[in-house]
Structure formats: C-alpha cells, structure tokens
C-alpha cells in the first residue's frame, strides 16, 4: 500500500514510518521539520519506496501534491505543546485545525480511501469518569490544544461521511520514548543536566497520567488499522494508553535515579490547584478495553515506559 505520513519526521511519526517501511509499504513523508528532524528518517532516505517532501501544511498546494496517488494518510503533523495554549492559541489552531482542514480539502478531490488521525486524551478535559471510555460525554476540553484536536476530529468525521472515505481516530495518552524532544521526561533530563542539585517540578507533582511507550503506540495503531480496514465503520475511535498511571513526582524520582542523582525537588505549585499550566489535565487514565477487545495490549506499563524512555533519552538504548 502507498501511504502518506504527515509529520513523519517527528517523534511518533518517524517510529510509524519505520514500522510501515519494515512491513514493505511505500511511504511518502510530508514534514516541515519544525519539530521533527531528517535524522529520524535518514535510514530510509535512499531506500526504494521512500519519499520525503519538506513542506508546510498551511500551504494548500503542498498538501494537494502530497496526497496525490496514496491510498491511506496517517495524519500526525501537529503542534503537540498543550502548555503554549494561553500564549499562542492562534498557532495551535493553525497547526492542528487549519492543516487538518487543508488535508481534508485535498483528500476530497483525491482517491484516498483511509485517514488515520492521532488525536489526544485532552479532548476529554477533566473527565468525570476514569478510566475514560471513548463514548464518554460531554467532551469538554480544558486547553486550546484539546479543543483544536476535538475540532479536527469533528471535521474529519464530517468530511468522511460526506466525501466517502473512512477515518480511524486514535485518542492518545502521553506518548513517550526515543526521539521525543518535548514533555516532562525530556524537560527533567535537561533541567538536571543544567543543575544536578535541584529539580524544578511544575505544579504540585501530584498530576497523575497514563504514559504509553511509542513502540506500543505504533503497534496499536497498525494492529487496529488492520482490524478497521476489515470492518465497515465509516469513522471509528480508539483510546491508546495504559491501565496504570504515574505521578509527575514519581517520574522525577525515576529520572533522578537513572541519572544517578539525588536532587532537591522544588515544586512551583503551579496553577488551578497544582496543575503545571493553564489547561494541564491533572488526572488522566483512558479505558483501553475497546482496543484490547480488538486484540491489542501494551507491553510496557506506565512505570516501565517511563524508565525505558529515560534510558533511551540518556543514550543507553538505541
């Protein structure tokens, strides 16, 4: 199958590209390299069946060229920073909603049959039910980022029903692993490299969320896409996460231990009752029963995924 991966030079995208190439698909990547890196895909650069387009999806013509001739689009291009919502809401709109609309607009005049989208747990906001199932309502995001992801989901559903393609939407927990270049583990490692004696922790450290390793994420996406293709649903939704969860304070302990340090922890206190920033969901654990029933389960729990990621980012595991 010939596929387009938007954001394919990014963190999750490049791991997905590895898996797709390894299973013999033809892969075209569209990436503006704003957060991703050519290094992440360099092993495929001179490979038959691999094509790289550097381009910004805010440009409609770029997107139109990228979808030409592909059967499926994996849409991972996005700005993943929840925390910038109060300073740069327009940027989150453009890099999550506008680019998705440009993609849908290009897809309606093309032969693309499937769209796979990486949405986020943040669409649930401060969910009243934990673990939160896919049919939880009302969806009330508390960040501009979560709102942008939900808007993108809604547009995808509307376009899929109107223009006869099928869409699979993943609501991801906190995804971590090799090549990630943002988020709590990356931040803690960098802070401790700068000052090994003290670690600043945003919020009160009790923020508790599910973390899923990128290898489990990509396995889940491809397994469930295979199942989705055999089914009939026009649009379907799956949470991908873990059955357990871990606090930011516990993550700080694991990072310190793996770096061989015993820093003093300095909690900033944060906003709105100990959140790291405005819009930071404090408690997040998704129900993954639907994905499990379809035959997927994570290999690493949240604690194992965090420890493995710390080792990967420190350079121990390639």
Ligand X SMILES: O=c1ccn([C@@H]2O[C@H](COP(=O)(O)OP(=O)(O)O[C@H]3O[C@H](CO)[C@H](O)[C@H](O)[C@H]3O)[C@@H](O)[C@H]2O)c(=O)[nH]1
Q: How far is CA 95 from CA 76, 111, 171, in A?
A: 11, 24, 18
Which residue's Cβ has the minimum distance to ligand X? 276
Distance, in Å, from the CA atom of 263 to the CA atom of 114, rounded to the nearest integer, reads: 49
What residues numbered 254-313 form the site for ligand X, per CB under 6 A? Answer: 276, 280, 284
What residues numbered 9-68 form the site for ligand X, per CB under 6 A? Answer: none
Instruction: Determine the length of the chain.
Output: 318
* Residue 160 host element (H or E): helix 144-163
Q: Checking phi first, is residue 182 left (phi over 0); if not, alpha (psi -120 to 50) or beta? A: beta
Q: Which stretch binds ligand X (CB under 6 A): 3-11, 116-124, 153-161, 290-298?
A: 116-124
What residues numbered 176-195 form the site for ligand X, per CB under 6 A? Answer: 183-184, 187
**Shortest Å, Cβ 201 to ligand X:** 5
**Shortest Å, Cβ 262 to ligand X:** 18
Does the footprint of ligand X cover residue 207 (CB under 6 A)? yes
> Does the active-site annotation cover 303?
no
Q: In this chain, which of 40, 95, 96, 121 binds ligand X, going by CB under 6 A?
A: 121
Q: Which stretch binds ligand X (CB under 6 A): 32-40, 64-72, 130-138, 200-208?
A: 200-208
**Shortest Å, Cβ 73 to ligand X:** 19
Distance, in Å, from the CA atom of 28 to the CA atom of 7, rounded to the nearest integer, reads: 10
Which of 145, 159, 211, 238 is labelled catalytic?
145
Beta-ladder partners of 4: 28, 73
Q: In this chain, which of 36, 80, 85, 141 binds ligand X, going by CB under 6 A?
A: 80
Q: In this chain, which of 20, 77, 202, 310 binds ligand X, going by CB under 6 A?
A: 202
The widest CA-to-CA distance across the chain, in whole angstroms, is 58
Does the footprint of ligand X cover residue 173 (CB under 6 A)? yes
Q: How far is CA 132 from CA 46, 138, 284, 299, in A?
A: 43, 12, 8, 20
Q: Chain-centre distance of CA 110, in angstroms?
A: 26
Q: What is the DSSP letter of 263?
A: P
Q: Which residues contact ligand X by CB under 6 A?
A: 80, 82, 120-122, 172-174, 183-184, 187, 201-203, 207, 209, 248, 276, 280, 284
Query: What positions carry a catalytic annotation?
Result: 145
């Amino acid at each position: 199958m010939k596929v387009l991966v938007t954001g394919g030079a990014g963190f999750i995208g490049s791991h997905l590209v590895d898996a797709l190439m390894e299973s013999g698909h033809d892969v075209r990547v569209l990436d503006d390299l704003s957060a991703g890196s050519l290094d992440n895909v360099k092993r495929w650069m001179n490979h038959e069946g691999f094509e790289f387009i550097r381009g910004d999806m805010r440009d409609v013509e770029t997107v139109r060229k990228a979808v030409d001739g592909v059967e499926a689009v994996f849409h991972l291009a996005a700005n993943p920073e929840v925390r910038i919502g109060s300073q740069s809401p327009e940027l989150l709109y453009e890099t999550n909603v506008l680019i998705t609309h440009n993609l849908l607009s290009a897809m309606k005049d093309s032969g693309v049959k499937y769209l796979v989208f990486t949405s986020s747990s943040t669409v649930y906001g401060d969910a009243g039910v934990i673990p939160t199932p896919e049919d939880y309502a009302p969806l009330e995001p508390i960040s501009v980022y979560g709102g942008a992801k939900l808007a993108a989901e809604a547009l995808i559903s509307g376009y899929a029903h109107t223009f006869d393609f099928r869409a699979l939407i993943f609501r991801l927990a906190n995804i971590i692993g090799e090549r990630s270049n943002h988020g709590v583990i990356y931040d803690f490692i960098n802070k401790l490299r700068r000052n090994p004696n003290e670690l600043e922790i945003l919020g009160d450290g009790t923020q508790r969320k599910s973390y899923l390793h990128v290898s489990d994420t990509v396995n889940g996406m491809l397994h469930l896409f295979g199942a989705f293709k055999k089914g009939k649903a026009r649009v379907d939704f799956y949470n991908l996460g873990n059955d357990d969860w871990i606090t930011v304070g516990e993550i700080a302990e694991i990072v310190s231990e793996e770096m061989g340090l015993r820093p003093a922890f300095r909690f900033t206190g944060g906003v709105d009752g100990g959140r790291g920033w405005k819009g930071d969901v404090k408690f997040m654990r998704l129900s993954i029963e639907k994905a499990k029933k379809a035959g997927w389960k994570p290999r690493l729990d949240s604690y194992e995924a965090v420890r493995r990621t710390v080792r990967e980012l420190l350079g121990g595991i390639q």
